[in-house]
Chain A
Amino acid sequence: MKSSVITFPGSNCDRDMDVALKKFGFRNKMVWHNDIELPKSDLVVLPGGFSYGDYLRCGSMASKSKIMQSVINFAKSGGLVMGVCNGFQILVETGLVPGVLLRNKYLEFICKNVFIKIENKDNPYFKNLEKDIFEFHIAHNEGNYFCTKDQLKEIEDNNQVAIYYCNNQGKTEEEFNPNGSIKNIAGIFNKEKNVLGMMPHPERMIDKSLSGEDGSLFFKNLIKNIK
């Protein structure tokens, strides 16, 4: 299975994502933001970091990078595109997924483990996962997901919420919301479910010596689903 990770100026989780994808069997290529052509890929990943320093608005400048036109075309033709953290912020700026990401409610960067709940497995990312509640890791300053009421209705009607913040029992009360996101939303699909944007970093949870191994389950399952 072939994957591509896009490196923007200021990306800083591009190597981590590369390590994770390779660990679980992807043949991954790093792609420079100034390239025009996307290599043949089964999965394109927009990694975390601070593309263009998060100046202006997180992800907005990166969303206009040369390579992004190819990424958008790839997504529109049904290709799998996953944005993590800053990658999610870039995705919302392209309009591939709805909504915006505001500054965290308490105006502080948060780096910690969180639990997330998957509600909808009818998609290539989560299909066949054996459990619903995962321990992932977040590290962001602007992860406070927001959208209009109309958008929220549409998102919910189309089952576009990918993951919710919750506790280890899967409860999605406000107290388990680390950043103020509307309805505890941690990740969103496009309507067709081939584009996934999420704040948590599965690539930081791929080794029991690190924060945990739930990321391994995600990647192992993902590559199986793509095959």
Chain B
Amino acid sequence: MLVNEKIAIEHGLKPDEYKKICKLLKRTPNLTELGIFSAMWNEHCSYKSSRLHLKKLPTTGKKVIQGPGENAGVIDIEDGDAIVFKIESHNHPSFIEPYQGAATGVGGIMRDVFTMGARPIANLNSIHFGSTQHKKTKNLLRGVVHGIGGYGNCMGVPTIAGQTSFDRSYNGNILVNAMTLGLVKKNKIFYSKATGLNKPLIYVGSKTGRDGIHGASMASASFDDKIEEKKPTVQVGDPFTEKLLLEACLELMAGDSIIAIQDMGAAGLTSSSIEMASKGNLGIEINLNKVPCRETKMTPYEIMLSESQERMLIVLENGKEELAKKIFDKWNLDFAIIGKTTNTKNIELFFDKELMAKIPVNILVENSPMYDRKWKKSKLPKKIKLDKKKINNLKIKDTLKKILSSPNVCSKEWIWQQYDHTVMGDTIQKPGGDAGVVRVHGSDKAVAATVDSSATYCWAHPLTGGKQVVCETWRNLISVGAKPVAITNCLNFGSPEKKESMGEFVECVQGIGEACKYLEYPVVSGNVSFYNQTKEIGIKPTPSIGGVGLIKNYKKMITMDFKKTDNLVLVLGKTEGHIDQSLLSRIILNEKNGPPPEVNLFNEKNNGETLLNLVEKNFIKSAHDVSLGGIITAISKMCIKGNKGIELKTPKSLINEIEYFFAEDQGRYIVEISSEDLNNVIKILDKNSVHYDHIGKIIDKDMIINQKTKVTIDELKSYNSNWLKDYMV
């Protein structure tokens, strides 16, 4: 078939991009070559709309071993240990086919981590669905949860934390972001840079089939009415094979046979081979007849663009072929020498002894398009003049009931009970806390991880929202007693070709960057997912941030359940009464406008570090950060988990009870301390200028608010724990 502009456009390339290809090649590409260009130059693989802005993020630091640009980021956790981690989206496939879409999302991110030599030790996910009233929501949620569980459980990697939200902006485009942490010795990290000439190129794992062809291109376009037709572009996962692949790769990695290794993720054999060659400034030659295929008569075009899962590409040391083959034979996996590294700096593909494609590697990578898209700046919305009378008339108990049972606050136990969160025997904080925590096997250390996003705040004001979500993960980590180290980000946005969506992206990234820089909490890996829209309706901007922190002595880990009757409860951080964009405002007062709560980075850092100091001195018995639903929502959860009551008394303040309890001001924590430590704690808080309110005392049962409202623990539990279960029946 002769290639022309029309075919190029069908491949998702723009007319200008096609012209550029012809110019760079000094000829018309053939179909296989065009397929390769389309795979490398789509948004998903090339970051053509985002690169310019991502460059501004802080990506270095004392603890950073590897920043963005590899399969995953790597941080130093001392004693020769390192944590490899990354988050990635699998939004489009999950909307088309929720089980397989979510499953292969989990499989893909785990591969990214073990490609670097790390054994996965924890999975997390951030999943977002449309309105609970929407006809597709229930099935999508069920399918996604089954898919995540189906893959992660089979791999034997615990799923330790996550986030689930519902918002009508996801009606036509759900989000599935999966994150994995792996543990590796600092001196045994593997990279994707190929070095040396005539080194054998090895294909291992599953056979190549016709599934997932053009998956990355599908992920780089908006949805329309014909999404059902895109089902064949969704990959099908086989977690069993991936488990074998994990064990086989780690067995081979224990030796010194591997020069470079890269998993075949988006754009399959194409992007993996080209990335390895490009990083090593080498050429690569592949004999496509040698690629193990699942189906007969696969064409070079199909082999190069297949996104069949559970495959890896390895550049091996000469002479290690037999040894490597033995390991993959043991694990019953395909092993084939399919090519070699060359000095031509071209990618050359042979099929039936014929040269099928020859493209200079640098054209595909360095010359890939980069756009400075037009974007629109967002103004900070004006504060809403609240109807004080309406607020004063609210009954605190009814309001609390509505908030605790609302879809975005209610217990997500129905979800995480379907994930194996205890396999590997090191999960010391299970889902449902501020962050999941796993021990570093056989040591006193533990790693805490959390994932968060605040689409509503980002939608109201992207710059503030971007900052806020970074701070929220920072607080989550501190609440479990972990020192925050670094983040990974999954940036889910609408079309970059629309200046409003692009503006949301640019300003969220700016906010993320500012917060990360101030908190010395760098970005070490991530992924961008644009075109999250159906027809013209885009999602709310949803950067998902995965934060990772270190606990040096796991016995000092903090949980949120109230521990002991008569202990005292403080709120750290100042409550100004910010109601706009809060849950109270949105679901009780029905007000969708106004600015998100302001983020004061100085306070965030100071409050967080002071709390860590208190943890270090063993003053903190339990802690929980204040977020959606405000102080009383946070306290309710601590009561529920600890099966304890509390006597609450609002401090003297200009704002009323409802505003005090439901405001979503930032930088706040609830902490439990014993009464004899009060003076010492206050001394430290005062010395560090951390504002605090002493608001209550733990009692055996019942939440008693200002001596007049009583809510029993059983009532709190029933408000919080039933909604999702009942919804899913």
User: Are the CB atoms of B154 and A50 closer together than 8 Å?
Assistant: yes
Which of A91-99, A104-112, A154-162 is the contact stretch?
A104-112
Question: Which B residues are CB-close (under 8 A) to A210?
Answer: 422, 425-428
The reply to whether the CB of B156 lies closer than 8 angstroms to some CB of chain A is yes
The interface on chain A, measured as residues whose beta carbon lies within 8 A of the other chain's beta carbons, has a size of 31
Which of B412-420, B528-536, B648-656 is the contact stretch?
B412-420
Complexed CA–CA distance, A52 and B239 (Å): 10
The reply to whether the CB of B155 lies closer than 8 angstroms to some CB of chain A is yes
**Whose C-beta in chain B lies nearest to the C-beta of A204?**
B422
Complexed CA–CA distance, A67 and B579 (Å): 65
The reply to whether the CB of B54 lies closer than 8 angstroms to some CB of chain A is no
CB distance from B619 to the nearest CB of A (A): 21
What total of A-B pairs shows CB separation below 8 Å? 85
- Which of B416, B425, B439 is the most central at the interface, judged by chain A CB atoms within 10 Å of its CB? B425
Question: Which A residues are CB-close (under 8 A) to B416?
Answer: 111
Question: Which A residues are CB-close (under 8 A) to B423?
Answer: 12-13, 16, 48, 139, 204
The reply to whether the CB of A196 lies closer than 8 angstroms to some CB of chain B is no
Question: Which B residues are CB-close (under 8 A) to A49?
Answer: 156
Question: Which B residues are CB-close (under 8 A) to A52?
Answer: 240
The reply to whether the CB of A80 lies closer than 8 angstroms to some CB of chain B is no
The reply to whether the CB of A170 lies closer than 8 angstroms to some CB of chain B is no
CB distance from B28 to the nearest CB of A (A): 45
User: Are the CB atoms of B418 and A111 closer together than 8 Å?
Assistant: yes
Complexed CA–CA distance, A57 and B425 (Å): 26
**Whose C-beta in chain B lies nearest to the C-beta of A16?**
B425
CB distance from A200 to the nearest CB of B (A): 12
**Whose C-beta in chain A lies nearest to the C-beta of B426?**
A210
**Whose C-beta in chain A lies nearest to the C-beta of B243?**
A10
The reply to whether the CB of B554 lies closer than 8 angstroms to some CB of chain A is yes
The reply to whether the CB of A36 lies closer than 8 angstroms to some CB of chain B is no
The reply to whether the CB of A39 lies closer than 8 angstroms to some CB of chain B is no
User: Are the CB atoms of A109 and B419 closer together than 8 Å?
Assistant: yes
Complexed CA–CA distance, A27 and B421 (Å): 28
Question: Which A residues are CB-close (under 8 A) to B439?
Answer: 209
CB distance from A107 to the nearest CB of B (A): 9
Could you mark each residue 564-588 of chain B with 1 if its beta carbon is under 8 Å from any beta carbon of chain A, else 0?
0000000000000000000000000
CB distance from B427 to the nearest CB of A (A): 7
> Looking at the complex, which one of A9, A16, A111, A206 makes contact with B331 (CB distance below 8 Å)?
A9
The reply to whether the CB of B153 lies closer than 8 angstroms to some CB of chain A is yes
Question: Which A residues are CB-close (under 8 A) to B155?
Answer: 12
The reply to whether the CB of B275 lies closer than 8 angstroms to some CB of chain A is no
Complexed CA–CA distance, A211 and B425 (Å): 9
The reply to whether the CB of A137 lies closer than 8 angstroms to some CB of chain B is yes
The reply to whether the CB of A214 lies closer than 8 angstroms to some CB of chain B is no
CB distance from A180 to the nearest CB of B (A): 16
**Whose C-beta in chain A lies nearest to the C-beta of B142?**
A108
Could you mark each residue 186-222 of chain B with 1 if its beta carbon is under 8 Å from any beta carbon of chain A, else 0?
0000000000000000000000000000000000000
Known contacts A53-B240, A111-B419, A210-B422; decide if A13 and B428 are in contact (CB<8 Å): no
Could you mark each residue 315-354 of chain B with 1 if its beta carbon is under 8 Å from any beta carbon of chain A, else 0?
0000000000000000110000000000000000000000
Question: Which B residues are CB-close (under 8 A) to A110?
Answer: 417-418
User: Are the CB atoms of B428 and A111 closer together than 8 Å?
Assistant: no
Known contacts A111-B418, A137-B422, A209-B554; decide if A54 and B154 are in contact (CB<8 Å): yes
User: Are the CB atoms of A111 and B244 closer together than 8 Å?
Assistant: no
**Whose C-beta in chain A lies nearest to the C-beta of B554?**
A209
B406-448 contacts to A (CB < 8 Å): 416-428, 430, 439
The reply to whether the CB of A220 lies closer than 8 angstroms to some CB of chain B is no
Complexed CA–CA distance, A62 and B240 (Å): 13
User: Are the CB atoms of B418 and A9 closer together than 8 Å?
Assistant: no
User: Are the CB atoms of B422 and A53 closer together than 8 Å?
Assistant: no
A187-208 contacts to B (CB < 8 Å): 201, 203-204, 206-207
Complexed CA–CA distance, A148 and B178 (Å): 43
The reply to whether the CB of A19 lies closer than 8 angstroms to some CB of chain B is yes
Question: Which B residues are CB-close (under 8 A) to A15?
Answer: 424-425
User: Are the CB atoms of B420 and A53 closer together than 8 Å?
Assistant: no
The reply to whether the CB of B130 lies closer than 8 angstroms to some CB of chain A is no
Complexed CA–CA distance, A119 and B248 (Å): 43
Could you mark each residue 54-86 of chain A with 1 if its beta carbon is under 8 Å from any beta carbon of chain B, else 0?
110000000000000000000000000000000
The reply to whether the CB of B630 lies closer than 8 angstroms to some CB of chain A is no
CB distance from A176 to the nearest CB of B (A): 16
The reply to whether the CB of B617 lies closer than 8 angstroms to some CB of chain A is no
CB distance from A219 to the nearest CB of B (A): 13
Question: Which B residues are CB-close (under 8 A) to A16?
Answer: 423-425
Question: Which A residues are CB-close (under 8 A) to B244?
Answer: 9-10
User: Are the CB atoms of B420 and A139 closer together than 8 Å?
Assistant: yes
B437-476 contacts to A (CB < 8 Å): 439
Complexed CA–CA distance, A185 and B269 (Å): 49
**Whose C-beta in chain B lies nearest to the C-beta of A9?**
B244
User: Are the CB atoms of B240 and A109 closer together than 8 Å?
Assistant: no
Complexed CA–CA distance, A134 and B727 (Å): 32
Known contacts A53-B240, A209-B555; decide if A109 and B425 are in contact (CB<8 Å): no
CB distance from A163 to the nearest CB of B (A): 19
User: Are the CB atoms of A9 and B238 closer together than 8 Å?
Assistant: no
Complexed CA–CA distance, A15 and B419 (Å): 19
Complexed CA–CA distance, A154 and B547 (Å): 55
Known contacts A109-B149, A209-B439, A210-B428; decide if A13 and B156 are in contact (CB<8 Å): yes
Known contacts A9-B244, A52-B240, A209-B554; decide if A19 and B418 are in contact (CB<8 Å): no
- Which of B150, B155, B422 is the most central at the interface, judged by chain A CB atoms within 10 Å of its CB? B422
User: Are the CB atoms of B425 and A206 closer together than 8 Å?
Assistant: yes
CB distance from A217 to the nearest CB of B (A): 17
Question: Which B residues are CB-close (under 8 A) to A9?
Answer: 240, 243-244, 331-332
Complexed CA–CA distance, A108 and B422 (Å): 17
**Whose C-beta in chain B lies nearest to the C-beta of A206?**
B425
User: Are the CB atoms of B425 and A12 closer together than 8 Å?
Assistant: no
User: Are the CB atoms of B243 and A12 closer together than 8 Å?
Assistant: yes
B136-165 contacts to A (CB < 8 Å): 146, 149-150, 153-156
Known contacts A109-B149, A110-B417, A210-B428; decide if A50 and B239 are in contact (CB<8 Å): yes
Complexed CA–CA distance, A139 and B418 (Å): 8
User: Are the CB atoms of A139 and B156 closer together than 8 Å?
Assistant: no
User: Are the CB atoms of A139 and B425 closer together than 8 Å?
Assistant: no
Question: Which B residues are CB-close (under 8 A) to A203?
Answer: 425
CB distance from B27 to the nearest CB of A (A): 47
User: Are the CB atoms of B238 and A53 closer together than 8 Å?
Assistant: yes
Question: Which A residues are CB-close (under 8 A) to B417?
Answer: 108, 110-112
B108-155 contacts to A (CB < 8 Å): 146, 149-150, 153-155
Question: Which A residues are CB-close (under 8 A) to B150?
Answer: 109
17 inter-chain pairs at a CB distance below 8 angstroms, sorted by A residue, are A9-B331, A9-B332, A13-B423, A19-B425, A53-B240, A109-B150, A109-B418, A109-B419, A111-B418, A111-B421, A111-B422, A112-B417, A137-B422, A139-B153, A139-B420, A201-B422, A206-B425
Give 9 new A-B contacts, CB below 8 A, not counting A12-B154, A13-B423, A204-B425: A9-B332, A12-B156, A20-B425, A53-B239, A54-B154, A111-B417, A111-B420, A139-B153, A139-B423
Interface residues of B (CB under 8 A from A): 146, 149-150, 153-156, 238-241, 243-244, 331-332, 416-428, 430, 439, 554-555
Q: Give 6 closest A-B pairs by Cβ, nearest first.
A: A12-B156, A53-B240, A50-B154, A16-B425, A139-B420, A209-B428
